[in-house]
Structures are given as structure tokens and as C-alpha cells.
Structure 1
Amino acid sequence: MERIPHDKLDALQFDRDERLEVWRQSVEPLFDCRAAREPGGREFQGRLESFNLGQTLIARSEFTPLHFQRDRRTSDDHLLVQLYTHGGYQGYNGDRKVQVGPGDISLLDMGLGLETLAPRSGTPLANILANHLSSVWETLADASVDDLPAINRTLVGAVAGAFCQGPVREDAAMPFEDAARDAVRAFIVHNLDDPGLGPARLCRRFGLSRTRLYRLFEPFGGVAGYIREQRLDRAFRELAERDLGQRRLVEVALECGFDSQSHFCRLFRQRFGMTPGEAMEQGRSARLRRSQADGDGPSRPEFRDWLLSL
């Protein structure tokens, strides 16, 4: 299975005097940037992780404060959608003041330089779009290039459904229905440790009837089964991919939403064909092999080339 092209940039991999320049070159097709002046002169730090979906790019970034500027570039016909999970920005678009905070979604027309905002966080529509973007991101590491047509279709359909004025067109209705399902799935993933997670809470959160919720989850064997499988998958990742230190198995089970260790161990073995202890040992061996195979130095990021190829 061919994986989706994936790239990471961590400025700390580079020499101190290279960090900002490497970052600036990587994002140059989108913005010109320079360091913001801060009391104390904090040195630049930034992390950028991206997937090349062919028709679209999706990335997650965090960085110390920067000033961004973009000249009008009428040859561009791309849209940039930004979900701010933390932080935000303030500035001007022409004479219009623009301010974006945590949970807001910004849409930038790269040809016109026109910024608009989707409904602010907390509204059902914003919840669906924000959760859909997060859900797509979380699935990409395990997806293949064969999945890209469906991923791009639902991704673009969700954005169009959230930003369009008036009713959603019939040809966009199905992608937006997929986006609603993805939003609920993402909410489940982020609240697996909540003992009250179930149909009643999901219906209240997303304004769904039980009938519609159950219909959305028919392909996954029902809501309860999906929640149980996600809790087991999270437990497997915790046990196999992380060094748990002094944490005990029962703590992992409780954090993943299970109320007893014996019940957790029985379900874990049924799903994965191994005990939690065997998963931990398998993970330790895999981490050791990866550390021995690491390269000698940082490579230059591919993000800039991917942007230019769109």
C-alpha cells in the first residue's frame, strides 16, 4: 500500500541562524514573513507537518510570533482555509480590520486577498467543519494514495458546505453528510475518557436525532460499537507506541474509558489477538529498531515544492 506523501519540518533541527530562513523559504509561496519583535528577543521556533493530497495540501503548524504579508497575486486561484486551535492573529485586509481567535476558521482567497470567516466556534456548522478537518488529519497517516479521491471530495465538500451562502447544492449534500459523520467521529475520539460519552450526548452536541445518528453509524456497526473500538485502538497506541514509564496498565484502561482492567484485557485480546502486555513488548522492540535506523541529519522540507506544484 502506497502511503500519502508526508513531510515534517522542525526548525530546531537546523542551526540557530538557519531556522527562520528555512521556515521563510518553506511558506514563501503563501506569505512573506519576518520575525515579530518581542520583549526578551525569543529565538525562532516552528514546527510544520504536512500531507500532499494531490488536489489539496493539509498541514498543521505552530510557531513563535511572526509578521505575515501577502501582495495581491491575481494569477493564483487557490483557497487557504485555516482552523486556529490556539492563538490567532489581528491585522488589516485593505482598510478592514481582521481579528481571528482560537476556534475561528479563516478563509483566504489567494488570488484576491479577501478574508472571510465561517461561523465562530461553538455553532453546529463550525463544530462540523472544525471536527471534519481534524478528523481528516488524524486519518491520513494510515491512508493510502488510493483513498485520495474520496478524501479530497469530502474535504472540499465540507468547506464548500460551510462557507456557501444559501442551501447546499444537491451535489454537495453527500460530502456534507460525510462531514457530519466525520465530525461526530472526531468528537468521539477526543472524548473517549468521558464515561458519559454515548448517543444522548452526541445528539445534543450536534443537533441530531437518534434516528439520524444511528443511520450515520450503520457502516461502523453502530454508535456503541464504534466507541468501544476507538477506545481499544487508543489503548493499543498508548501501549505500543509510547514509553509509559511508571504508569500501570489499569491507568491506561481508565484513561481510555474502561471501568475495569479485566473487562479491558478481555476486549483487547478479542480485538487484537494479543494481551496488552504483549502489545507493550512489541512496541518497545519497534521503537528500538526505529531509533537504530534514524538518519544522520535533517533534510530540507518538501512543503514549498508541494505548494508550487498545486
Structure 2
Amino acid sequence: MDGAVANESVPVNDGERGPAALTQLRAMTIDVCDVNPLTAEDDFHMTAVSTMAGNALLVDSRVTDVEYDRTPAHIARGGMDHYHVTLCLEGEMWFSSGRREVTLKPGDICLLDMGPPNRTVLRGGGGRTHLRAIILQRAMLAPRLAHPDAATAVLLPAEHPHARLLANHFAALMLPSDPEAGSIEATIEAIADLVASAAGGAAALAAGVERSERHLYLAMIKRHIAHNLESDALTTEELCPRFQISRATLYRLFEADGGLAHYVREQRLNLAFRQMISPSAEDKRLIDLAVDLHFSSDSTFIRAFRRKFGLTPGELRELAEKWLRETGAVPAVDTLLHQLARQRTP
């Protein structure tokens, strides 16, 4: 149960194991649950890292076989009234609350209500169970649910398209924010919509589910594009099977960005801008840069660059070198863009 570290924002038990690690975890979770190792205490080992992700908490944990027991006494102490959206990455997780129970295996995602008493058993098959959970406040998720007090142990199996989509965002939220993927807050809201829909969403949610699904798919594809700008595998023929969507859906996703080809071209020009002001690329020829970013020629690249930024790559390189000589620092992209914008303003 990742609720064990729901209120922590630092690594738990980083590198420790055995009785000392167990004592530390029990002290941290005394008001949350009882911790009962299913191995010898000397073999107990847990690491957990929690990260604030917009308006939610993301917890990544690895632990040897263990049982968490959240009793009525823990409930009475208060202080925890959250839902967990939990992804199993390794091992197996069994969860029981009232008459509801569920078993998660790798790739499965489940909605868990931490409000009522519950019991969780983690077994790693000789290793450690690896879980990743997004912890949402009840005030955020409950209004999206038709029956908030009955929405627990709701499973999205690994083969479900939404499970794969959500798992991609679980991983991305652990990384530094990517401006191309949209705001973290919007991504968390969209995740909440899809999970609530799977658990039986409120009537008012129906209209927003399609929008949320579109947001998550678009953010996921943009993230892929950002990491593969020097690859030629950014065409409709490559992206549709990779993300298991139709050509028409892909086109609709990128309508607001001027179409897929236009978006990819713009991002490649942005990458070229960043590379041109980097001292590490000062000896790189324009033709090599153009080829790496899949422009048909250096002249095509220069024209596209000038249309977007109002100066040629060579002029940008001179501007960056001048900035470096005068300030002793490599200029930030935003700094140069603002300076260029001021120059173009009458």
C-alpha cells in the first residue's frame, strides 16, 4: 500500500534494510497502517520516493514481501482520506476492502479507496514488488464518481488501452516536466477523468472523458516526438501502429497545431535553435544539422528557420557568440527569443 509514504516528499529508507528499515517505516506509518513483513526482518528492504506532481502526489516504491493492515483504529485517527491510482510494475499486489478484493499483476492499474479499512499483501516472487501510485484527494476524485464510497478495487487490466495510456503518463510524471506535453495539472485532471470513468463516472463526467483521453494521447505522442526529432520515424505510418490509433484520430489530435507534419517541423526548428546557441555545436555544419533534422537541403532548412525566427542560423550563431563574449554565459533560449521579438517590434 503506497499510502505508507503518502505524506512524505523525500526518499524513504534510502539504501537501508533489515530491522532498522522496518522500524523506520513503522514509525512513519503508525497512524496509517500496521506493517507486517512476510520475510525475516533481516531481509526486509524498502525504498520509496514521492514527488509532487501538480495537484497530486506520485509515489514510487519497491518493497520485499509485506502486509499492510489499515484497521478501524487507523481510520479513527483520521488524517488520510485519499484515493490511490496504483500501477503494478513488478511482483504482485493483493488488495481487500470489505467485500471487494483485487489482485494486480505487472501492467495492471487499480483504483483504491484508502478511506475504509483495507488490507494489502505484496509478494515479489523472491524479489521486490514495484508499485507506482498517484494519490488523489477525495475532494478531487469523488465528484467525478457516480458512487464515490463504492469505488474501490476497480481494475484496469494491462491489456486495456487506457491502462497502457495511463502507465505511459505514470512514467513521464516521474521525470522533469516537459513543456511540450502540456501542464502537469491538466494531465492529472485527465487521468482522474479516465479512472473515474472506468470506476463508474458521474453523469456530468461523460462529456469530459473524450477530451481527457485526447489530452493524454496528445501529450504522450508529443513526448515521443520530442525524444525522436532526429529520427525519421515520425510519420503517420509509424505513429499510428505505435500508439494504436487511427490515421483520422492522429490528424484530429494535431489539428490545433497545424497538422502533424507542421508540428514535427516546428519542433525540429526549435531543436535546431537550441543546438545553434550551444557551444558544443559551434563546429557543426549547417548541412549536417539540416540532414540530422530531416530537411531536404541546407537551403530549405535556412528558409524555414528564417520564417520561424526572423533570422538565419548563421545570424543566430553570431548573436549567441556575441552574447557569450559580452556576458561570459551561454544565452538561454527564452532570453534570445525575447530579444529577437523586441528587435522585430516597431
| TM-score where L is the length of structure 2 | 0.52
How far did 1:187 drift? 5.6
**What letter corresponds to residue 59 of structure 2 in structure 1?**
A
1:164 alignment counterpart? 200
Deviations 1:271-298 (A, max 9, x none): 9978xxxxxxxxxxxxxxxxxxxxxxxx
How many angstroms apart in 2 are the aligned matches of 1:24 and 1:14? Answer: 14
How many angstroms apart in 1 are the aligned matches of 2:158 and 2:227? Answer: 16
Is 2:114 the counterpart of 1:110?
yes
Aligned partners of 2:111 and 2:195 also within 8 Å: no
How many angstroms apart in 1 are the aligned matches of 2:25 and 2:209? Answer: 36
How far did 1:13 drift? 5.9
In structure 2, list runs of 5 or more residues that go unmatched.
1-7, 119-150, 282-287, 296-304, 318-346
How far did 1:261 drift? 8.4
Q: Which runs of structure 2 are paired with 1:59-98 in the superposition (5 Å)? A: 59-72=59-72, 73=75, 77-90=81-94, 92-93=96-97, 98=102
Deviations 1:17-65 (A, max 9, x none): 5433333344555543233315x943524131321634x3222222333
How many angstroms apart in 2 are the aligned matches of 1:204 and 1:94? Answer: 41
1:243 alignment counterpart? none
**What letter corresponds to residue 169 of structure 1 in structure 2?**
A
The 1:265/1:171 distance shift into structure 2, 3 A limit, reads closer
Aligned partners of 1:45 and 1:64 also within 8 Å: yes
Larger-gyration structure (1/2): 2
How many angstroms apart in 2 are the aligned matches of 1:184 and 1:44? Answer: 36
Is 2:157 the counterpart of 1:124?
no
In structure 1, list runs of 5 or more residues that go unmatched.
1-5, 241-248, 250-259, 275-310
Aligned partners of 2:17 and 2:44 also within 8 Å: no
The 1:265/1:191 distance shift into structure 2, 3 A limit, reads closer
The 1:63/1:140 distance shift into structure 2, 3 A limit, reads farther
**What letter corresponds to residue 153 of structure 1 in structure 2?**
E
> What percentage of residue pairs aligned between the two structures are identical?
24
Is 2:237 the counterpart of 1:200?
yes
SS of residue in 2 equivalent to 1:150: helix
Aligned partners of 1:154 and 1:179 also within 8 Å: yes
How many angstroms apart in 1 are the aligned matches of 2:48 and 2:30? Answer: 16
Q: Which runs of structure 2 are paired with 1:136-155 in the superposition (5 Å)? A: 136-138=173-175, 140=177, 149-155=185-191
Aligned partners of 1:32 and 1:70 also within 8 Å: yes
**What letter corresponds to residue 159 of structure 1 in structure 2?**
V
Which one scores higher on RCO, CA 8 angstroms, separation ≥ 6? Answer: 1
Aligned partners of 1:129 and 1:183 also within 8 Å: no
Larger mean Cα displacement after TM superposition, 90-99 or 62-71: 90-99
How many angstroms apart in 1 are the aligned matches of 2:253 and 2:43? Answer: 48
1:214 alignment counterpart? 251
Q: Which runs of structure 2 are paired with 1:39-58 in the superposition (5 Å)? A: 41-51=42-52, 53-54=54-55, 56-58=56-58
**What letter corresponds to residue 108 of structure 1 in structure 2?**
L
The 1:34/1:226 distance shift into structure 2, 3 A limit, reads farther
How far did 1:181 drift? 2.0
How many angstroms apart in 2 are the aligned matches of 1:71 and 1:128? Answer: 34
How many angstroms apart in 2 are the aligned matches of 1:158 and 1:132? Answer: 12
Deviations 1:192-242 (A, max 9, x none): 898655423432344432232123134556445666849x97xx9xxx9xx
1:308 alignment counterpart? none
Aligned partners of 1:90 and 1:100 also within 8 Å: yes
How many angstroms apart in 2 are the aligned matches of 1:134 and 1:193? Answer: 23
SS of residue in 2 equivalent to 1:138: coil
The 1:204/1:166 distance shift into structure 2, 3 A limit, reads farther
**What letter corresponds to residue 88 of structure 1 in structure 2?**
E
The alignment's C-alpha RMSD in Å is 4.9
The 1:108/1:96 distance shift into structure 2, 3 A limit, reads closer
1:283 alignment counterpart? none
Q: 1:22 aligned to 21, 24, 27, which one?
A: 24
The 1:94/1:135 distance shift into structure 2, 3 A limit, reads same
The 1:98/1:206 distance shift into structure 2, 3 A limit, reads same
| TM-score where L is the length of structure 1 | 0.57
Aligned partners of 1:129 and 1:159 also within 8 Å: no
Aligned partners of 1:7 and 1:50 also within 8 Å: yes
